[in-house]
Amino acid sequence: MPLFTSHIFVCCNQRPPGSPRGCCDPEGSEALRDLFKAEVKKRGLGPLVRANAAGCLDQCERGPTVVVYPQGIWYGGVTSEDVPRIVEETVVNGRIIEELRIPDEQVNCRPKP
């Protein structure tokens, strides 16, 4: 059995209400992670695809944030409506959804407040 073809990490970090950096999961519900898990299961993509909760991915200003490894594709502003197409387009078909993508050069570059 090979390694995961896509390992989806969903930021489930909570920051205090009103944090200037924003927050990926203000309610701490891990709802987005649950939706990814359900979509992966519905399509029978396990055990080669896995959706995982992650602590702070440090993209708070651009959240909710998801990163897909080993491809290293970062998505920001992800909503529940985006989950099926991320799985369909990116995980199954290997295509990047440009309008969700956090540009590579921004991933390690925190915006000035």
Cα–Cα distance for residue pair 22/2, rounded to 1 Å: 37
Q: Contact at 8 Å (CB) between 2 and 48?
A: yes
Cβ of residue 64: shortest distance to its own copies, in angstroms? Answer: 15
**Structure-block tokens of residue 67:** 């990163």
Q: Contact at 8 Å (CB) between 14 and 31?
A: no
**Toward its own copies, which CB reaches closer, 16 or 18?**
16
Range list of H helices, 1-113: 31-42, 83-85, 104-107
Residues 54-93: x/- map of binding to its own copies (CB under 8 A)? xxxxx--------x-xxxx-x-------------------
**Toward its own copies, which CB reaches closer, 10 or 18?**
10
Cβ of residue 82: shortest distance to its own copies, in angstroms? Answer: 20
Residue 98 within binding range of its own copies, rule CB under 8 A: no
